[in-house]
Amino acid sequence: MTSRRDEPEAGRLGGVLLLAVGQLVSWGSLYYAFALFIGPLEREQGWSRTEVTGALTAGLLATAATSPLAGRLIDRFGGRLPMTGGSLAAALLLIAWAGVERLVTFYLIWIGLGAAMAFVLYDAVFALLARSLVGSYRRAVTAITLVAGFASTVFLPLVHVLIEWLGWRGALVALAVLNLTVAGGVHFHVPPKLGPPRRGAGPHPPPPAVTVREAARGRAFWGILVTVVANATLFSAVTFHLVPMLGERGVPLATIVAAAALVGPAQVGARLLLLALEGRLSLRRSGLLAASLPVLGTAVLAGTGPGSPLLWLFPVLYGAGNGMLTIVRATALVELVSRSSFGAINGAIALPALAGTALAPVTAANRVNIAFHYFNQILTGYFLGQQHA
């Protein structure tokens, strides 16, 4: 029988599916779609691939720089105004991109899009949920990341069709309309302002509100930060360097692409597993599992060669670990650091993580990153273990 105290929270769970759809559209239209516009921009504008992808790097750096501000605003004002404003700005900037002619303008547009993404992607939604849900927070995070995990699956073919039908400029206008009407519509209906986090629900009372400086005095904060930064850096480096690295070993390109395509389904599958085992798998065990799977994946990758079955095991292990880590990060911050200050603290962690994501493809060496990731996962297991010992 549902208690009276649980009823308001249960009612809010009805909006989780809408938030998941908003994330699907935001990720698909603002992040994954970029890859399909590289070729048209090279052909029509005459820009080099380095010049085009440099705009994405600039945008991700802008996301990193803006994330702390976005988190603080959502902590203070709730999600409606910041997130709706982010979707509106993103739609206007997509339309501006559709009319771009100069490279410098393209970069300015992408810096703006990067800032807008800080207000509409995972970190913003997690900050909103941390203040509005208690007992069902982890389940809501899992459900949202599960649906949003299909963003590339849905939007890559969709954007391809739009470019074929409308041209790349028309496709950008269509994405702007979709981003504004769907994602913006969802964000407009989130709670306009949230009070302090509710106590008394869930297995643990929420930690008290703390500042970022106070949070940084605890081992949990640094354990999460080290984990997230190292994982984001390596994941970005592997994404961009996997093809040349395996190609140098003689693995055919078609085989590499087919194997890499398994990373997304592995992420979704791992999140489904966490959802199914929610009541039986503790945060500590989830964290250790999320930490160990990428270690196994990178070890497998180091021994992969032409015709090796290990090539198909790598994306399953690596994708599953990364899929779990998204949920573990969001849950650990709430349970181990602070619920009411989630946005500001998560934004402080997102800044170096997103900077690592943006810079890794240019600066990272694969062997160094694999070693760094191994060290990172050992630290992760230690910090999470100490907090739950």
Task: Report d(CA 45, CA 25) in Å as an integer.
Answer: 27
Task: Report d(CA 235, CA 223) in Å as an integer.
Answer: 18
Please indicate, yes or no, whether residues 224 and 289 belong to a single structural domain of this protein: yes
**156 in any annotated domain:** yes
Domain that holds residue 302: 212-388
Output 198 or 306, whichever has higher pLDDT. 306
**What is the per-residue DSSP string for 52-109?**
HHHHHHHHHHHHHHHHHHHHHHHHHH-SHHHHHHHHHHHHHHHHHHHT--SHHHHHHH
Please indicate, yes or no, whether residues 168 and 227 belong to a single structural domain of this protein: no
pLDDT, tens digit, for every residue of 81-128?
999 999 999 999 999 999 999 999 999 999 999 999 999 998 888 888
For position 37, which CATH number holds? 1.20.1250.20
**207 in any annotated domain:** no
Structural domain ending residue among the three candidates 137, 155, 188: 188
**196 in any annotated domain:** no
- Specify the pLDDT at position 202: 45
Choose among 219, 221, 239: nearest CA to 231: 239
- Specify the pLDDT at position 68: 86
pLDDT, tens digit, for every residue of 333-358?
776 666 666 767 777 777 777 776 66
Please indicate, yes or no, whether residues 376 and 236 belong to a single structural domain of this protein: yes
Choose among 30, 12, 5: nearest CA to 189: 12
**315 in any annotated domain:** yes
Task: Report d(CA 343, CA 336) in Å as an integer.
Answer: 14
Question: Do residues 122 and 349 touch, judged by C-beta distance below 8 A?
Answer: no
Task: Report d(CA 321, CA 325) in Å as an integer.
Answer: 6
* Whether pTM exceeds 0.95: no
Number of domains observed in the structure of the chain: 2
Task: Report d(CA 325, CA 309) in Å as an integer.
Answer: 25
**205 in any annotated domain:** no
Please indicate, yes or no, whether residues 78 and 125 belong to a single structural domain of this protein: yes
Please indicate, yes or no, whether residues 127 and 247 belong to a single structural domain of this protein: no
Crossing angle of helices 16-27 and 151-178, rounded to 10°: 90
Output 182 or 53, whichever has higher pLDDT. 182
**201 in any annotated domain:** no
**203 in any annotated domain:** no
Choose among 350, 332, 347, 338: nearest CA to 72: 347
Choose among 278, 271, 29: nearest CA to 154: 29
